[in-house]
Structure 1
């Protein structure tokens, strides 16, 4: 899959962009959950049926981050994760449009005529609640009108799971409550984070449970504090582990920034400066303060056994 970064006003010509007739799924797609996947896979299907390339257009940074609206607290799928997932869905090209104050003021007509049509968009595929242009003035009906004879529009209905519409905001809520099984169902995969292993307090090795301390690579949505059963991708290896996300109250009183400490069940060796992708598969328990180091060690041992059982 090819990724093309776009800014507005767009100064590149179609030749420089190497554009071809394409079917284009349009949306923010943060989370790339089952609802988003239904839109994108519809675009891929239409593209295959018509013999053109399948493309996706998304926007970065997140409009809520730029406009400082709502309770935006981070990404479910930062751009790198989004690229990886989209490639697996069969997308040929990803357009990442820089969302800034100037772009937020585009009229619906400018969006369609200055951005979509020059990319040779033959079919635009959007979700049922798609809005575009300044202050969300445009909807799929207006997009269809603006496309005229050059661009058709396909609207994908809401994706329902157990009778409820799958949405990014509800997935964020599930993560904040530690409801990982439900979040995984709605995402279609376990929620994951990426980080680089950094030097920590090195306390884990002294109690028999060495940990990899992660510095996150992006501004992720942070799930509930607690202990998780995790799968860890390290290069080509997929390893089992148990992760503590929290402030380590047994050792610290208050005011500490949450840390991500992963104890790997199937690995021995140094991981400093290495990148790990961590899938949060199951929430085991909440973080709590222990009366003694021995009590903590006993609980960590039990957590490791629980993680091994859940991941077997």
Structure 2
């Protein structure tokens, strides 16, 4: 897949199947849309194109919008997941004044037709484009009948609940990682670098890998203790992860991400890692004493080992 950050960079595209959207998380609902785009393009022997945005539209309309810890998949991850679905071209354009006020008619004529030779448009059930969200499947069918085929992809559901980025974010904030993972179609993960901490975990008998996120826009799950995997140098290591402020040990105001890895002793400082979260064990809490904290960590570790064993047996 080739990706670009502005339309002037584009190569010559004579004919294409296009979809448009933010696609934050590239979850199972998005996958339905993207896969249909790829399917139609392969049937016709033409290219598939995704037009997305390098900043959330909310950041343009709401001046107080703060992107920190707000996205399921920052740019690097979104590119990775969209590519995995077989898309040919991805455009990550800025959602700015021009895009916000571009009429649907101009979007169709000046961009989709003039630059990409669009033959088919695939949109999610609630997707719109152009100024005041005027562009839709109905709009295309009315103005471009017999010229462009437009398809609306049905909503994806899980247990009668619509799969959407906002719903998944809420589950992650609540700590319901299992439900979020099911809707994503993969384990929610945090990417970053292993850094030095204060070594409190080692003093307690449970050394941890402290992870600094590579992208500040990545959504951090609700505070608590999680069953996890750490991917590093091609290895996948089971463990238990604490996301929180460590109230028993410190007066930190920032959220740290620390993973105790099972049966692993290697030096991994400064290594790039990916932390997959599987299930929340409990909320973070302040304990009355260090022995009480150590006892709880021991219980967390035993629970996580049991859950990981079940997963290995199941797979």
Which TM-score applies when normalising by structure 1? 0.91
Aligned residue for 1:305?
302
Aligned residue for 2:312?
none
Aligned residue for 2:284?
287
Aligned residue for 1:131?
128
Aligned residue for 2:79?
83
Measured against aligned partners, the alpha-carbon deviations of 1:271-311 in whole angstroms (never above 9, x if no partner) come to 22211111111001100111222221222122122112212
Provide the C-alpha distance between the structure 2 equivalents of 1:227 and 1:85, rounded to a whole number of angstroms.
Answer: 27
Provide the C-alpha distance between the structure 1 equivalents of 2:147 and 2:263, rounded to a whole number of angstroms.
Answer: 56
User: Structure 1: 5+ residue runs without aligned partners?
Assistant: none
Aligned residue for 1:28?
22
Aligned residue for 2:48?
54
Provide the C-alpha distance between the structure 2 equivalents of 1:80 and 1:263, rounded to a whole number of angstroms.
Answer: 27
Conserved? CA contact 1:128–1:155, under 8 Å: yes
Q: 1:288 to 1:49 in 2, by over 3 A?
A: same
- Off by >3 Å, runs of 4+ in structure 1: 69-73, 143-150
Provide the C-alpha distance between the structure 2 equivalents of 1:280 and 1:155, rounded to a whole number of angstroms.
Answer: 33
Which of 57-66 and 143-152 deviates more? 143-152
Provide the C-alpha distance between the structure 2 equivalents of 1:149 and 1:243, rounded to a whole number of angstroms.
Answer: 55
Provide the C-alpha distance between the structure 2 equivalents of 1:88 and 1:244, rounded to a whole number of angstroms.
Answer: 30
Conserved? CA contact 1:112–1:147, under 8 Å: no
Q: 1:66 to 1:211 in 2, by over 3 A?
A: farther
1:121 Cα offset (Å)? 2.2
Structure 2 residue aligned with 1:63, among 57, 62, 67? 57
Residue 198, structure 1, aligned to residue 195, structure 2: yes
Conserved? CA contact 1:195–1:277, under 8 Å: yes
Aligned residue for 1:99?
95
SS at match of 1:119: coil
SS at match of 2:303: helix
Provide the C-alpha distance between the structure 1 equivalents of 2:210 and 2:36, rounded to a whole number of angstroms.
Answer: 40
Which TM-score applies when normalising by structure 2? 0.90
Q: 1:148 to 1:60 in 2, by over 3 A?
A: farther
Structure 2 residue aligned with 1:251, among 249, 253, 269? 249
Structure 2 residue aligned with 1:242, among 222, 240, 252? 240
1:261 Cα offset (Å)? 0.7
1:211 Cα offset (Å)? 1.2
Provide the C-alpha distance between the structure 2 equivalents of 1:235 and 1:58, rounded to a whole number of angstroms.
Answer: 31
Conserved? CA contact 1:109–1:146, under 8 Å: no
Which of 220-229 and 99-108 deviates more? 99-108
1:249 Cα offset (Å)? 0.5
Conserved? CA contact 2:20–2:129, under 8 Å: no
Residue 39, structure 1, aligned to residue 33, structure 2: yes
1:151 Cα offset (Å)? 2.8
User: Structure 2: 5+ residue runs without aligned partners?
Assistant: 310-315
Measured against aligned partners, the alpha-carbon deviations of 1:91-131 in whole angstroms (never above 9, x if no partner) come to 22211112123321211122222221212222111011111
Q: How does 1:220-231 map to 2 (within 5 A)?
A: 220-231=218-229
1:252 Cα offset (Å)? 2.4
Residue 143, structure 1, aligned to residue 140, structure 2: yes
SS at match of 1:141: helix
Kindly report the root-mean-square deviation, in angstroms, between the aligned alpha carbons of the 2 structures: 2.0
Q: 1:307 to 1:24 in 2, by over 3 A?
A: same
Conserved? CA contact 2:59–2:66, under 8 Å: no
